Structure 1
């Protein structure tokens, strides 16, 4: 096939607390890729934000350690030259990019903006959806606007807390009660989240959250089942069968999610058909509420007291190893890991083509 092979830029690592998770994901994706149809160019972003670029791959690396591209001669400027080559020559060195970056500078719209500037098709959500999906407060406002039910919450900035913490505390106690959950507004993977059972714990929890962000969100505690659904598509989006997370700890924190291995994923979730269908419909609604494209995982609470379905959040770059919830949900829905990768690349190119048809000029040229 030679020249007809599509060149995919695989971007991983990153200046984020989820750097190592990104490496595991990149290794899994690299090993599942269809090399008869694609060639890969690995782009590794160090924890300091420096870029390294390797040569074209026609087969995967044999170990995860190789992903760090220790022998690579190409640094940040060469990586940018490759990414932006299409702008100067009209012919891109890379046909499509596949960002496998979790958290800050990865799924928050910043790198998506770089791809837009470089005029490159890329897998996943655009700038707006990525930014909205990362900011829990903006996300919740969009959900409310779309008529999706969610748990009660309050939010404030660091300067508001400094000026009027007493009034804020009283407002939260009245609206949410204890226990409640305190979270940085912009952070993936449950980092910086605390559960507060009283006023003293609430004040401590806010101090922890403010280490990670200048905006904090506080949510009521809901006694509920945690149900997750994969969404795949652009304008026409499909929902996977739902899965259920049965957490080992008091709440599904970073420890439970990544380290202790005790959280169980039940796929399919033991739900009656009507409830499962309702949740799937709401997952697509949430996907559209933030104007997402490509993929997202929508996470819901099903409240135990009355069976109400509450949207918790969407994740625009969900965990993506073959053992992560998102690919497993699609596998059980009938889409293999390799097919999922192919489909995401097709969706990236499809979205790019639609956007290329738009006129960004001023006036009627």
Structure 2
């Protein structure tokens, strides 16, 4: 099994942390690991010892590793064939459908959602649009584009003040782990927050604050008939659940399962499955929510490659639901192989399909009509 980690996004370190946890949890008698370290520049390296490869990437000393070779070259034989790939590349160039498309082209089974669901799940603009089209409750938001901001910043700030209003959260549209996210109490804070967001992305999401609200998460696992875990709650010590709170602040508390009214917990699970199916995901996803004091539940976002660190919610929620970490990984690999077989059979059926008769005018007419 190929395990990919690192990557070119701002979540490079988080990816390495996730991979360390997965390497420790996988059964060495069942899985022969082929570690693939992806540098910030997008170069791929490997080695015989997964722990050594992880350490080398974290330290930035990949020159001691071997380059991943797809096409054999003199002195560099091709790497062994991959039975299944497990991408733990959080953020752009990993979670956004990019690497999933590579696996599709190479006909390699892979863990996690497909190309379309990955792309939609990464882009908060597209994600929110899909959620709204599916009738899921989302807080008020506005999408701002970089060229619009550079040309007319004052006009943009005036529009934000009208909708969604302040206070608000400003986020790069295509990042996760709260990288680049800032809270804005008014126009001047929004100005600096948008400047920060546009240093990461060409689109930014300005979202109305849901406060007061509880931050609740739910894990989803499966394919055509997915299952939802028990919900869990985030209790950050910081002002909001930012990058530091997620990965470094020991004061952050994860309450699993969340202490919710049974009806509210049921609604969280129902909406988690609805969000998963709205983007046509399979494999895994973590869905994040805001729960208001009156019990109203708002869908925040979906993460198609959730964190797998020792403190990450996705595996912890399944542990609390009766599925231990190692068995969860086994299930994900099984789903990957089953989905690959299903899609391969469908592709084969499409390749052998032929019309029973030619269109009027023959093949030439069909070609002309397509031009």
Q: TM-score, normalised by structure 1?
A: 0.89
- The residue aligned with 2:247 is 258
- The residue aligned with 2:325 is 337
- The residue aligned with 1:37 is 30
- The residue aligned with 2:146 is 158
Instruction: Please report how far the alpha carbon of residue 286 of structure 1 lies from its aligned counterpart in structure 2 after TM superposition.
Output: 0.4
- The residue aligned with 1:207 is 195
- The residue aligned with 2:354 is 364
- Structure 1: tracts of 5 or more residues without a match: 1-7, 83-88
Is the contact made by 1:294 and 1:348 (CA closer than 8 Å) also made in structure 2?
A: yes
Structure 1 pair 213/62, CA: closer, same or farther in 2 (3 Å)?
A: closer
Q: How many pairs does the alignment contain?
A: 345
Instruction: Please report how far the alpha carbon of residue 36 of structure 1 lies from its aligned counterpart in structure 2 after TM superposition.
Output: 2.1
Greater shift after overlay, 155-164 or 144-153?
A: 155-164
Aligned equivalents of 1:153, 1:73: Cα separation in 2: 45
Is the contact made by 1:24 and 1:64 (CA closer than 8 Å) also made in structure 2?
A: no
Aligned equivalents of 2:62, 2:208: Cα separation in 1: 47
What do the CA deviations read for 1:88-124 (whole angstroms, capped 9, x no partner)? Answer: x9xx711000111111211111111111111100000
Instruction: Please report how far the alpha carbon of residue 138 of structure 1 lies from its aligned counterpart in structure 2 after TM superposition.
Output: 0.3
- The residue aligned with 1:15 is 8
What do the CA deviations read for 1:286-320 (whole angstroms, capped 9, x no partner)? Answer: 0011111100000000122x321000001111110
Is the contact made by 2:53 and 2:65 (CA closer than 8 Å) also made in structure 1?
A: no
From 296, 300, 303, the counterpart of 2:292: 303
Instruction: Please report how far the alpha carbon of residue 16 of structure 1 lies from its aligned counterpart in structure 2 after TM superposition.
Output: 2.1
CA RMSD in angstroms comes to: 2.2
Q: Secondary structure at the match of 1:38?
A: coil
- The residue aligned with 1:3 is none
Flag the structure with larger Rg. 2
- The residue aligned with 2:66 is 74
Q: What is the 5 A alignment of 1:343-358?
A: 343-358=331-346
Aligned equivalents of 2:277, 2:15: Cα separation in 1: 26
Q: Secondary structure at the match of 2:82?
A: coil
From 22, 46, 54, the counterpart of 2:39: 46
- The residue aligned with 2:55 is 65
What do the CA deviations read for 1:150-204 (whole angstroms, capped 9, x no partner)? Answer: 1000012111223333333222212222111111111111111111111111122
From 127, 130, 139, the counterpart of 2:115: 127
Q: Secondary structure at the match of 1:25?
A: helix
Q: What is the 5 A alignment of 1:45-194?
A: 45-55=38-48, 61=51, 64-65=54-55, 70=62, 74-76=66-68, 78=69, 80-81=70-71, 93-194=81-182
Is the contact made by 2:184 and 2:193 (CA closer than 8 Å) also made in structure 1?
A: yes
- The residue aligned with 1:196 is 184
Is the contact made by 2:37 and 2:46 (CA closer than 8 Å) also made in structure 1?
A: yes
- The residue aligned with 1:86 is none
Is the contact made by 1:96 and 1:121 (CA closer than 8 Å) also made in structure 2?
A: yes
- The residue aligned with 1:25 is 18
Q: Secondary structure at the match of 2:32?
A: strand
Greater shift after overlay, 9-18 or 146-155?
A: 9-18
From 309, 313, 338, the counterpart of 1:321: 309
